[in-house]
Structure 1
């Protein structure tokens, strides 16, 4: 016989609660899901957000002043790298955004020469 408590259906829980005159305070649309192990959830988050792992974005961020130049790097920053290899850069000034856009092929070549960044295939410059 398992040591786990028996789980009643939602309708059975409501019926038992009404017999015992215990108000049901759970929302009608709420699903009761099985609990998950906290260690597994934390591990999934560490992998998803690349915490503690040297990622391409962090390498590019470290060398961004060298790649874009100190003046342009002051008004821009690397946002993320998607699955297709497209790097998104946010520029807070329109002139800097235009200059980065005009030199994006040269910037892409410099980025691809950085260690572990060969998978970067395209560069997107956005306002931000």
Structure 2
């Protein structure tokens, strides 16, 4: 989500809510970006369900990369590269509420030192029946 405001000045930011993503299979995913669900400050992404997903990431990032705090960049068209390397290895969730993750299976080509989930301004996140390798890390995955 972005706040580019292409319409007249008084047009409010749009909303992203009631989204279902199901039955996805990804191979050789670029680990710089993980999977990003990011609203903007004051405008949460709401009521999203992700289910029956398998992702094979390239991996290879370190525990140091888990300390990165991505910029907001809300005035830029939303693209994965705009945040730079993401601190999570699987899902980076910011400015979101009421998300459900069910039957998520993730593996890596190379070991990745980042935590699988990093949450920032994210509430009511339900994670069930997920399978992914956990890194040996002292970085807390929830911000």
Instruction: Flag the structure with higher strand content.
Output: 2
Instruction: Flag the structure with higher helix content.
Output: 1
TM-score normalised by L of structure 1: 0.22
Q: Which of structures 1 and 2 has the bigger CA Rg?
A: 1
TM-score normalised by L of structure 2: 0.20
